[in-house]
């Protein structure tokens, strides 16, 4: 009896969902091919059969074969007990049912994360940290194990199919979000919707984003966990209704926002989007923060036509479900001011100083200590400060952020530059001496600028007096 | 029918709670003013209306207007659809119903966190990391964005009301716990009881405290998460009964203690308190740990008359719900010994050495690398070690704590001092040479003391023999 | 009536469990001795009585006395209201019922964690960070508070019984997993099964392991939390069935693996084990990773006869519940390649360089800055990289791992060695000059080797061309 009720309920819900979202419904019953897969995999890999069994795919009769099927011309096709299948289910495959999501994803930075693997960070993993000793069938010249186990696991590998149809171990397993797949598509839906449940619930959990958005160079998950948003989430996780199909802020939940809420999910006026950049008004990745349309243009993404103002409006449309417009405007004043402080006081002069020092250094990047010092100032600590302010994590903004930036700027970077000047001024190479003088002049100019002259004990007397008064005032208050 | 039951239940519980805690009951029905607010805000900011709807305030008919109402003489009053209201609900406002809590809070260090903004840390954020380029209507001379986005978000801003009654964006949004409000009161109840649910449940979650008590200079939340107390909490969160009105350890829950349990909440013999210092027997904030009554006296807090022994008894009254008295006494022996080790071996000689070195440094603090080295030894690592021992997080005590203290003391601090000596001994300024000799003598005295003579290879022979024997004994055991 | 039903249910389940696992059943009713304990401790330490009340021990009539009873010849016996008891319940005591678990535990590295206390790390805590100023009744010569509050809390203390039968405060409280108990047994079951619930549920939570497996030198919990395994756990904790007696992957749960799943718990083909090393195929503790049977042999553990291949098969038997064999094999190719990269490029040459530098340094270890530099390269960052790869945490592998290793190798370690060479070449001691020349030759050989020659701008031209091409290709793709 109970079984019949469950069955009827399933059927009903299937009918209803078919009715309401016809484009998303699956086949009317599970295919014979998929049944065949399950018969065997129930024994071979029982846990993933169970995971699939608790997925929406199960309820929609979307089985193993529906996703893993391949055409004979596919690069990675192989025959498995009589069926032509492929291991990798690419965004192109998912798009057979989830076309809107795949298409939005394709416009995002996420989708092209695999392309940046010729960057500075990559040089680190391949040359500085690595070597070519990871020889695999597909890579007789080898790869760097630091890149394979590090970079590629977030950014995505370029998956290589071997002659026997199997996947090269340097490039698979891999769920990097910008994975370059054998079918030419870019991306990995399972980066966020983990196999084999593919649940939207999991993707709405902040930890999902934390797989990659963590650590010294972009500690977003740590910042979220410090912020009042994260605090509210962890205190109210059971009230978040995370598994609900419709998940509209203020309708279906209100206790807290997750990463998904602000960057992707629906509000009463705004649809879900899988293009994660559409609500972001600063790109804090580079040495100096830029507007997102600028970096989108450089990358050839359609976002080049979407101004930061529009994106900020999109985000504010999320914020205003809980905060009034003045509050939100004021927050952005605070956030923008931190970006401007970092850009103006540290990033711009630092970049210029590094450019002037470059001809005086050993030619190979990262063979000079100052290469690491400067790299961490902008790539680690400078980003942390900016991300910290963007998501309201005060300790990340300050102690892990601007404090570290300033400490390394004054106690490491400037002294290292001064040492370079001292050493090269005595050079017999007149070109070097000329370059050294340019660098020395720039150091002087920077240190005498308003932002830095405190360091050489030349604080503006008016400012010094004001500071002293403020300090006295505070001290007095302290004693009351 | 169901609705009626719910309604009756609500009514009954209201009556009961009115009966038992008359002073805490709200109005008999929601005010017209609040109904008016809700009519509009249901559309404008739906999520906070929902949050309020799940709060105890809802059940007590305490609506928007009851908290946000203002008098025409209030500094931040403004007229909003005919009602005189203020944005900020200060502790003075909350005290209209929660007088006991507000009064206890007023005696705590928390309440005066905003006053310390003339301190060394503040100099960092305002001058070293910052500048005055965050110009806002209320601050034509500008503020530092590093202070606004960093320090102020935990310590609290001094909220500035602009001529049009709005709040200056440098000082609002802000939920720093020591916020200085337009009505002159200090504090922000929403620092822990987040808007607009104000739930005691959330405040009992450790993450709430982690908003500020985290990071390199006071990693309390990280230490808690490492400790057996934290482990027990995360494994048993669903058994913690966190939302219960009465929350007495051993009666209403027993699975684990949270921050609130030990520092604030009720035991069978002890009331809840909002003065978080009443169970703390060391103040580990300064260079050298001091007793809390000493720092309370300095700050003019009533805690000046409450000895550390009394506070320790208060804490032990919590501990002994799960641990016997010997266990607790032994723990305190362990904790005290770590404080004494840090104070005696590193803090005291370090402070004295720094004082002797000061006249030989560039005059501006933080323009010398050694300023940062010493600052981190006590402010970051030394505190981490002490907090680690206080809450039983062994990795924080040792690897993030005493290991870092010792590493930086021997491998950075002492060599930096020796370099200063070497450089200044050759000075033509006889006063400097004299000072240098004093410093050199002190370095020598420190390194020849029992605590440090291992460093100059002068370990007491008896001790060296003992150590060797112990090592052999261990090695032998290692091999068995 | 309800009470009777509960009672009957309890009785039935007791009968059933007695029937199926006769060796694990407790007495038929709670002993009078235990009733006596409870009468008083309900008042004295109410929370632990409640904890015990929610334990399986309660249902099995295993009370206070059953575990704490002691014989008159026991070292730590004392008389407490007429009963002979001991404070510490050692693995020997637990083995009275849990013999299989205690015996497996005895074969593990965990059980002998207390024996390593003569190691390098211990020298740090006792001499470098510590002193002998923690004088307690049992240690008139003192102990180091850094060892007591740090190392010993994870590794375990050697518990000292005082003349009055009480436990010395330097050695108790202590739940270090390798605690050396008064009865001569090693270990502490409550390290993972916390008092007084001793729940298997808690022990299956990753945080339990995180008590010790965290921090700069072995951040396993942090890596797990970053990994897809951890993400799946935190998103699905409520579906993990963590409290179920039988907990077989793929039968009783499938949403995610915890630490216990992979290292200890049952699969359809494999029993639970309390010897945590039986599924581990690399020991990543030493400077260079070794096979576990090698370190087991050194420690005299029975694991010396269990090859890494067998252990890897054991682990793969877990993996294949969710992943197919190719996937698993490929993963191990990735993991092994990272170990080989670290071992070959950094650990081996670094170790050799340090050995050559040693005679040129101040004789006391850790009195030279380079001692700390090298120590952190292998002990902190090198381990982090290796553990990161083993558990698929890309940021820990790369940014916290190989990036830090390489940065400190090139920007700190090599320059420090070069400085030693420069200084000692001018020595008047010809033996020193000879040693210096050896060191200089080795530095040259390392830097000219394939792994390092990029640093001296001597990258193989073929390789340089390849890299340039790849970079161009990437840049092109970047622009499309």
**pLDDT digit string (tens) for C423-457?**
999 999 999 999 999 999 999 999 999 999 999 99
- For residues B452 and B410, give the distance between their C-alpha atoms in angstroms, rounded to a whole number: 9
Closest CA to B282 of B217, B213, B343: B343
How much is the pLDDT for B81? 96
Instruction: Tell me how far apart the alpha carbons of residues C320 and C331 are, in angstroms, rounded to a whole number.
Output: 12
Backbone angles phi, psi at B468, to 5 degrees: -65, -45
Peptide bond into A196 cis (omega under 30): yes
Chain C, window 313-372: residues with a beta carbon less than 8 angstroms from a chain B beta carbon? 362-364, 366-367, 369, 372
Q: Judge whether B221 and A395 are in contact, CB under 8 Å.
A: no
Determine the distance in angstroms separating the CA of A242 from the nearest CA of chain B, rounded to an integer.
16
pLDDT in tens, B30-46: 999 999 999 999 999 99
Size of interface B-C (CB pairs under 8 A): 199
Instruction: Give me the half-sphere count of Cα atoms (radius 13 Å) on the Cβ side of residue A469.
Output: 6
Residue C409 near residue C443 (C-beta atoms within 8 A): no
pLDDT at position B471 is: 74
Q: Is the pLDDT of residue B396 over 70?
A: yes
Find the angle CA(C203)-CA(C205)-CA(C206) to the nearest 5 degrees: 110
Chain A nearest CA to B410, separation (Å): 19
- The Cα C114–Cα C151 span in angstroms is 9
User: Is B150's CB within 8 Å of A401's CB?
Assistant: yes
Question: B88 and B181 in contact (C-beta within 8 Å)?
Answer: yes
- CA gap C13, C273 in Å, rounded: 25
Q: Please, are residues A108 and A191 in contact by the beta-carbon 8 Å criterion? A: no
Query: Residue A18 carries which DSSP code?
Result: H
Contact B234, C207 (CB under 8 A): yes
- Distance between CA atoms of residues C190 and C197, nearest Å: 10
Nearest CA in chain C to B410: C367
Distance of CA B377 to the CA centre of its chain: 19
Number of residues in chain B: 480
Q: How far is it, in rounded angstroms, from Cα A463 to Cα A469? A: 10
Supply the pLDDT for residue C24. Answer: 57
Relative orientation angle of helices B325-341 and B308-319, to the nearest 10 degrees: 130
Share of chain B above pLDDT 90, in %: 87
Q: Using 50, 70 and 90 to split pLDDT, how confident is the model at B16?
A: very low
Mean pLDDT of C171-179: 97
Q: Residue C38 corresponds to which tokens in the numbers above? A: 């409870």
User: Of A19-23, B99-103, C63-67, C199-203, which gets the smallest average pLDDT?
Assistant: A19-23
8 Å CB contact of A234 and B205: yes
pTM (2 d.p.): 0.94
What pLDDT does A394 receive? 97
pLDDT tens readout for residues C372-386: 999 999 999 999 999
C254/A202 CB distance under 8 A: no
Q: Do A131 and C450 touch (CB under 8 A)?
A: yes
Cα(A117)–Cα(B421) distance, rounded to whole angstroms? 49
Burial of B427 per CB tally in 10 Å (0-12, 13-18, 19+): middle
CA distances to A135, A390, B173, B209 from B179, rounded to whole Å, are 60, 21, 11, 16
Using the predicted structure, report yes or no on whether residue A7 has a pLDDT greater than 90: no
- Average pLDDT of B347-373? 97
**Cα–Cα nearest to A293, from A310, A273, A270, A315:** A310
Residue C325 pLDDT > 50: yes
Q: Please report the residues numbered 209 through 268 in chain C whose beta carbons come closer than 8 angstroms to any beta carbon of chain A.
A: 225-228, 230-232, 234-236, 239, 249-251, 254-255, 268
Contact B185, B91 (CB under 8 A): yes
Burial A44-74 (b: 16+ CB within 10 A, else e): ebbbbbbbbebbbbbebbbbbbbbbbbeeeb
- Helices A32-44 and A46-53 meet at what angle, rounded to 10? 130
Nearest CA among C414, C415, C410, C386 for reference residue C398: C386
Mean pLDDT of the residues in chain B: 92
Beta bridge partners of A158: A180
Task: Give the CA distances from residue A82 to residues A37, A69, A167, A183, in Å, rounded to whole numbers and listed in that order.
Answer: 11, 12, 20, 22
Closest CA in chain C for residue A88: C327
Residue keyed to tokens 């010249």: A141
Helix (H) or strand (E) holding C85: strand C83-85
DSSP state of A79: E
Tokens 């005010």 — which residue? B31
Residues in Cβ contact with C437 at an 8 Å cutoff, skipping those fewer than 6 apart = C425
Q: What's the mean pLDDT in C337-350?
A: 98
Does C170 sit within 8 Å of B334, measured CB to CB?
Answer: yes
pLDDT interval class at B436 (50, 70, 90): very high
Q: Which residues of chain A neighbour B162 with C-beta distances below 8 Å?
A: none
Predicted confidence at residue A12, as pLDDT, reads: 45
Q: What is this model's ipTM? A: 0.93
Average pLDDT in chain A: 92
Is the model's pLDDT at C181 over the cut of 70? Answer: yes
β-bridge partners, A283:
A290
Distance CA A185, CA A170 (A): 19
How far does CA B282 lie from the centroid of its chain? 14
pLDDT at residue B80, rounded to an integer: 96
Chains that touch A (3 or more CB pairs under 8 A): B, C
pLDDT of residue B115: 84
Q: Nearest C-alpha of chain A: how many angstroms from C15?
A: 30
For position A22, what pLDDT does the model report? 39
Q: Would you state the structure tokens that stand for residue A14, as one six-digit string?
A: 């299937």
The predicted model gives B399-427 an average pLDDT of: 97
**Whole-angstrom Cα distance, residue B452 to residue B437?**
20
Q: Could you tell me the pLDDT band of residue A471, with boundaries at 50, 70 and 90?
A: confident
Looking at per-residue confidence, does A464 or A382 come out higher? Answer: A382
Quote the minimal CA–CA distance from C387 to chain A in Å.
11
List CB contacts of B20: < 8 A, sequence separation 6 or more: none
Residue partners of C413: CB distance under 8 A and separation at least 6:
C350, C353, C370, C373, C374, C377
pLDDT value at position C479? 55
Interface membership of B437 toward A (CB under 8 Å) = no
Termini Cα distance of chain A:
76
Report the run of H or E that residue A80 belongs to, with start and end.
strand A78-80
Burial of B464 (0-12, 13-18, 19+ CB in 10 A): middle
- Two tokens, residue A143: 């790869």
The sign of the CA dihedral A259, A262, A264, A266 is: positive
The residue that leads in pLDDT, C116 or A378, is A378
Share of chain C above pLDDT 90, in %: 87
Residue by residue, DSSP assigns C320-339 as TTTS-HHHHHHHHHHHHHHH
Mean pLDDT of B328-345: 98
pLDDT tens digit sequence for A146-188? 999 999 999 999 999 999 889 999 999 999 999 999 999 999 9
Does residue C149 contact residue B338 with C-beta atoms inside 8 Å? yes
Omega within 30 of 0 (cis) for the link into B140: no
Query: Is-cis flag, bond preceding B338, omega within 30?
Result: no
A360, A436 contact by CB (below 8 A): yes
Closest by Cα among A253, A203, A247 to A233: A253
How many alpha carbons lie under 13 Å from residue C38 in its C-beta half-sphere? Answer: 19
- Of C394, C410, C412, Cβ closest to residue A150: C394
Q: Is-contact C360 C435, C-beta < 8 A?
A: yes
Beta-carbon contacts of residue C412 (< 8 Å; ≥ 6 apart): A369, C373
pLDDT on residue C474: 67
Contact B334 C129 (CB under 8 A): no
pLDDT computed for residue C472 by the predictor: 77
pLDDT on residue C13 = 44
Q: Token match 């709807």: residue?
A: B53
Cβ neighbors of B38 (< 8 A, separation 6 or more) are B49, B63, B64
């Amino acid at each position: 009896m109970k079984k019949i009720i469950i069955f009827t309920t399933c059927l009903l819900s299937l009918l209803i969902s078919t009715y309401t979202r016809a484009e998303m419904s699956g086949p009317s019953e599970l295919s014979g091919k998929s049944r065949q897969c399950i018969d065997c995999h129930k024994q071979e890999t029982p846990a993933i059969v169970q995971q699939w069994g608790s997925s929406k795919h199960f309820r929609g009769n979307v089985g193993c074969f529906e996703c893993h099927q391949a055409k004979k011309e596919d690069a990675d096709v192989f025959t498995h007990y009589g069926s032509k299948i492929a291991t990798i289910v690419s965004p192109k495959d998912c798009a057979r049912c989830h076309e809107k999501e795949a298409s939005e994803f394709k416009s995002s930075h996420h989708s092209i994360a695999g392309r940046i693997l010729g960057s500075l960070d990559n040089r680190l993993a391949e040359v500085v940290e690595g070597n070519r000793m990871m020889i695999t069938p597909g890579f007789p010249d080898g790869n760097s194990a630091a890149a394979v186990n590090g970079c590629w696991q977030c950014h995505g590998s370029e998956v290589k199919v071997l002659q026997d149809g199997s996947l090269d171990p340097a490039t698979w397993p891999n769920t990097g979000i910008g994975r370059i797949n054998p079918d030419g598509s870019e991306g990995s839906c399972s980066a966020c919707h983990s196999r084999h449940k593919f649940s939207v619930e999991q993707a709405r959990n902040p930890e999902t984003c934390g797989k990659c958005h963590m650590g010294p160079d972009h500690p977003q998950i740590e910042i979220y966990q410090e912020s009042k948003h994260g605090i509210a989430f962890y205190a109210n996780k059971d009230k978040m209704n995370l598994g609900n199909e419709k998940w509209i802020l203020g309708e279906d939940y209100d206790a807290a926002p997750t990463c998904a809420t602000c960057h992707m999910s629906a509000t009463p006026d705004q649809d879900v989007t899988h293009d994660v950049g559409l609500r972001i008004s600063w790109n804090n990745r580079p040495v100096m923060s830029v507007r997102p349309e600028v970096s989108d243009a450089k990358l050839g993404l359609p976002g080049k036509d979407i101004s930061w103002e529009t994106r900020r409006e999109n985000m504010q449309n999320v914020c205003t479900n809980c905060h009034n417009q003045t509050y939100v405007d004021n927050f952005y004043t605070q956030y923008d001011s931190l970006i401007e402080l970092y850009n103006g006081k540290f990033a711009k002069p630092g970049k210029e100083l590094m450019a002037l020092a470059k001809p005086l250094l050993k030619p190979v990047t990262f063979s000079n200590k100052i290469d690491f010092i400067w790299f961490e100032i902008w790539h680690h600590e400078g980003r942390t400060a900016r991300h910290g302010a963007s998501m309201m994590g005060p300790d990340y903004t300050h102690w892990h952020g601007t404090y570290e930036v300033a400490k390394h700027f004054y106690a490491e970077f400037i002294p290292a530059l001064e040492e370079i000047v001292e050493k090269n001024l005595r050079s017999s190479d007149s070109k070097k001496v000329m370059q050294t003088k340019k660098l020395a002049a720039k150091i002087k100019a920077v240190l005498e600028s308003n932002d830095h002259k405190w360091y050489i004990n030349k604080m503006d007397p008016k400012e010094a007096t004001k500071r002293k008064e403020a300090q006295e005032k505070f001290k007095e208050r302290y004693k009351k």
